Amino acid sequence: MIKDTIHIPVLLEEVLEHLNPQAGQNFIDCTFGGGGHSLRILEAIKPAGKLIGIDWDPEAVTESHGQNLIIVNDNYKNLEKIVKKIRKDDNTNYPINGVLLDLGLSSDQLDGADRGFSFNSKKSLDLRFDQKSENVTGTEILANYNEHELFKIFKEYGEEPLAKQIAKAIVDKRMEGEPVETAEMLVQLISAVYQRYFKDRSRRNPATRVLQALRIAVNDEFGNIATVLPQAISLLESGGKLAVISFHSGEDRIVKKYFKEMAGADYPLIKIITKKPIIASDQEVEDNPRSRSAKMRVIEKL
């Protein structure tokens, strides 16, 4: 089922324009979240079309199998296995006409404090989308990784300008017997580091990049993107579309590079629809500030 949500779907009208869902077609939303994109796609594909909604976060979805909407709690990196099982259960090899990957966290996840996604969380810095997974937690990374390993995470995944200084401060705290265990503690530490180097601070929380980097490392988000893209293209029918919305330059680089390789091969599998990424309008950014870093790239399967 789709739960009550405060999430505002990003680039909604642009997604609908480029995926162009029609009655009787079938779609996959690999990052179902609050279901904002999916609801509008469902309206367009009824009465016979199906939408498969996937989300790794068990709090974002409830497993269900209805006439038009099939919701699955799983990691989208397992996309082909998920679709294979659904087709087997339905005894129908229905075509896939479009796939959506919205790589941003929903507002519900960002604002929830239970797993450390919120800046003011006083609970353990878990950061796993699925707390039943065996992935290392953010708290475990901060407690066990050495200074160089922390620096690499903050620099590569967060593009943090003070990655070296923050990594050292975390290790120093640990050696003093005061390990950083919560988002609140991490924010306080990073704020103190920033105050030593920058007199004028922007309104952006200085811990934003580091918290994002830890979340990416915990969930292997870059690896998951690289794994799912070829699966999504393989599942699409000829003429089907894949739309990817990224919020991080590292995510966008992975998508852009893969699309370019597939479109430029000797026997290209895809055609790039968006020569430049689509970004949110000024009005959308004003209405939903979290859309300001969104970039959407779309391809069509040949």
Res. 115 pLDDT band, cuts 50 70 90: low
Structure tokens at 183: 């988002």
Q: What's the whole-number mean pLDDT along residues 234-261?
A: 97
Please report, rounded to a whole number, the percentage of residues in the chain having pLDDT higher than 70.
91
Angle of the 183-197 helix axis to the 163-175 helix axis, nearest 10: 120
Looking at residue 106, its amino acid is: S
Query: Which range is least confidently modeled, 73-82, 142-151, 176-185, 234-243?
Result: 176-185
pLDDT in tens, 37-95: 999 999 999 999 999 999 998 877 777 888 899 999 999 999 999 999 999 999 989 89
Please report, rounded to a whole number, the percentage of residues in the chain having pLDDT higher than 90.
77
Q: Is the pLDDT of residue 4 over 50?
A: no
Model pLDDT, residue 200: 60
Measure Cα distances from 293 to 9, 12, 154, 254 in Å: 13, 15, 19, 16
All domains in the chain, ordered by first residue: 12-108+222-301 (3.40.50.150), 136-219 (1.10.150.170)
**136, 301, 297: which is closest to 216 by C-alpha?**
136
Res. 33 pLDDT band, cuts 50 70 90: confident
**179, 194, 204: which is closest to 124 by C-alpha?**
179
Does the bond joining 268 to the residue before it have cis omega, within 30 degrees of 0? no
Instruction: Spell out the SS3 assignment of the chain.
Output: CCCCCCCCCCCHHHHHHHHCCCCCCEEEECCCCCCHHHHHHHHHHCCCCEEEEEECCCCCCCCEECCCEEEEECCHHHHHHHHHHHHHHHCCCCCEEEEEEECCCCHHHHHCCCCCCCCCCCCECCCCCCCCCCCCCHHHHHHHCCHHHHHHHHHHCCCCCCHHHHHHHHHHHHHCCCCCCEHHHHHHHHHHHHHHHCCCCCCCCCCHHHHHHHHHHHHCHHHHHHHHHHHHHHHEEEEEEEEEEECCHHHHHHHHHHHHHHHCCCCCCEEECCCCCEECCHHHHHHCHHHCCCEEEEEEEC
Q: Is the pLDDT of residue 267 over 60?
A: yes
Task: Give dist(CA 78, CA 99) in Å, integer.
Answer: 14
Q: What's the whole-number mean pLDDT along residues 237-254?
A: 97
Res. 259 pLDDT band, cuts 50 70 90: very high
Q: Check: CB of residue 139 under 8 Å from CB of residue 125.
A: yes
Q: What's the whole-number mean pLDDT along residues 96-113?
A: 75
Res. 238 pLDDT band, cuts 50 70 90: very high
Query: Which range is least confidently modeled, 121-125, 248-252, 265-269?
Result: 121-125
Model pLDDT, residue 133: 87
Res. 138 pLDDT band, cuts 50 70 90: very high
Model pLDDT, residue 1: 47
Q: Is the pLDDT of residue 113 over 50?
A: no
Return mean pLDDT, the chain.
Answer: 91
Task: Give dist(CA 247, CA 105) in Å, integer.
Answer: 9
Q: Is pLDDT larger for residue 39 or for residue 109?
A: 39
Distance between the two ends of the chain, CA-based, in angstroms?
34
Is 292 buried (19+), middle (13-18) or exposed (0-12) by CB count in 10 A?
A: middle
Q: Is the pLDDT of residue 97 over 60?
A: yes
Q: How many CB atoms lie within 10 A of CB 24?
A: 13
Task: Give dist(CA 43, CA 25) in Å, integer.
Answer: 11
Task: Give dist(CA 175, CA 184) in Å, integer.
Answer: 19
Measure Cα distances from 255 to 8, 224, 240, 296, 299 in Å: 23, 12, 17, 10, 11
Q: Give the pTM.
A: 0.90
Model pLDDT, residue 123: 79
